[in-house]
C-alpha cells in the first residue's frame, strides 16, 4: 500500500510542475518506481504512465502544436528512440559487472543499473543547474536534436530536458512550445514502449497494473491542474531538492543497492 501512496504523490506533483517545462516526469518517476521494481521494468512502467499522461495533455492543448517542428524533430526522435530502447533491452541481459557483500547482504552492480544511474544524474543536473538550463540550440539543429533526445528517451526514459533545450529556440510561443513538446513526447513514448513490450512478456507486469492505473490517474489530475494554471512557476528550491534526491537514488542504483 505504501508504494501506491509514494508513487501517486510523485506522479501528481511532477505532472503538475512539469506541465509548463515539458520535462521532468520521467526523470523523477523512474527512480521512484526503481525503489519497488527492477530498473528495466521501472523504466517501462514509467513509460506507460508518461505516455498516458502525455495523451491526456494532448487532448488539452495538442491542437496548438507546430506541425513543422513536430516533423523535423519528432520523426527523427521516434526512430532514434527505437535504437535506444533496443540498447536498454540488450544491456538488461548482460551479467553483473561487480558483486559485493555488505552487512550480510549481497549487492550486484549490473550494466543497465550503471548506465541508467549515470543518465539520471546527467538529466537531473541538466534540469536543475542554471548553466545547463540556459543551454539552447539554433533552429537548424532540430533534426540532430531529435535524434539525441529520442535515443536517450528510449534508453533511459529521460529526454525532455534535451528536447526543451532544442525547441526553446524554435520561435514558438508558450502554448505552442508546450503542445509541440507533448506531441513529440507521445511519439517517443509510443516508439520505445513498442520495444519494451518484449520485456513485459517476461515479467509479472499484471501485478503492477493497479499501481500504473493509480499513478496515471494521479498524473492526470496534476496535468489538469497545470493546464488550469498555465503560467510560469518558479521552483528553484524544489528543483534543488529533487536533484539531490535523484543523485542519491542514482548512486544507490550504481552501487547495486536498488
**One digit per residue, pLDDT tens: the chain, 258 residues?**
677 888 888 888 878 766 655 566 777 787 788 788 877 788 788 888 888 888 888 888 888 899 999 999 999 999 999 999 988 888 877 888 888 887 777 778 888 778 777 776 776 676 666 666 666 666 678 898 899 889 988 887 777 767 877 777 777 877 888 889 889 989 998 998 888 776 665 555 666 778 888 888 988 898 888 777 755 554 455 455 556 656 766 677 667 665
Give the helix ranges, DSSP H, for 19-108. 25-34, 39-61, 67-69, 75-92
For residue 39 the three cell numbers come to 530498473
DSSP run (H or E) holding 101 = strand 98-102
Distance, in Å, from the CA atom of 155 to the CA atom of 88, rounded to the nearest integer, reads 5
Number of domains forming the structure of the chain = 1
Q: Give the span between the Cα atoms of 162 and 145, in whole angstroms.
A: 7
Which residues lie across from 87 on neighbouring strands? none
Backbone region of residue 210 per phi and psi (left: phi > 0; alpha: psi in -120 to 50; beta: other values): alpha
pLDDT at position 80, please? Answer: 95
Q: Identify the DSSP state of 64.
A: G
Q: Which three cell numbers stand for residue 244?
A: 539531490
Grid cell of 143 as nine digits: 533534426
Q: What is the pLDDT of residue 235?
A: 47
Domain that holds residue 148: 2-254
* b/e sequence 230-250, b meaning 16+ C-beta within 10 Å: eeeeebeeebeebbeebbebb
Amino acid at each position: 500500500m505504501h508504494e501506491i501512496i509514494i508513487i501517486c504523490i510523485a506522479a501528481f506533483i511532477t505532472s503538475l510542475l512539469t506541465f509548463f517545462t515539458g520535462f521532468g516526469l520521467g526523470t523523477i518517476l523512474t527512480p521512484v518506481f526503481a525503489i519497488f521494481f527492477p530498473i528495466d521494468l521501472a523504466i517501462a512502467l514509467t513509460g506507460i504512465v508518461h505516455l498516458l499522461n502525455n495523451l491526456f495533455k494532448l487532448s488539452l492543448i495538442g491542437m496548438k502544436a507546430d506541425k513543422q517542428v513536430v516533423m523535423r524533430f519528432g520523426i527523427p526522435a521516434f526512430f532514434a528512440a527505437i535504437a535506444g530502447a533496443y540498447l536498454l533491452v540488450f544491456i538488461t541481459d548482460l551479467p553483473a559487472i561487480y558483486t559485493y557483500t555488505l552487512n550480510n547482504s549481497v549487492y550486484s552492480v549490473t550494466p543497465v543499473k550503471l548506465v541508467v544511474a549515470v543518465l539520471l544524474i546527467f538529466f537531473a543536473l541538466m534540469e536543475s543547474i542554471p548553466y545547463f538550463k540556459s543551454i539552447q540550440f539554433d533552429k537548424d539543429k532540430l533534426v540532430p536534436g531529435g535524434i539525441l533526445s529520442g535515443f536517450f528517451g528510449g534508453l533511459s526514459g529521460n529526454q525532455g530536458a534535451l528536447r526543451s533545450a532544442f525547441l526553446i529556440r524554435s520561435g514558438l510561443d508558450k502554448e505552442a512550445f508546450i503542445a509541440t513538446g507533448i506531441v513529440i513526447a507521445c511519439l517517443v513514448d509510443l516508439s520505445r514502449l513498442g520495444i519494451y513490450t518484449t520485456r513485459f512478456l517476461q515479467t509479472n507486469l499484471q501485478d503492477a497494473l493497479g499501481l500504473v492505473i493509480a499513478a496515471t490517474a494521479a498524473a492526470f489530475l496534476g496535468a489538469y491542474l497545470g493546464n488550469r494554471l498555465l503560467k510560469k512557476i518558479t521552483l528553484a528550491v524544489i528543483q534543488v531538492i529533487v536533484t539531490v534526491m535523484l543523485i542519491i537514488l542514482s548512486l544507490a542504483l550504481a552501487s547495486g543497492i536498488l
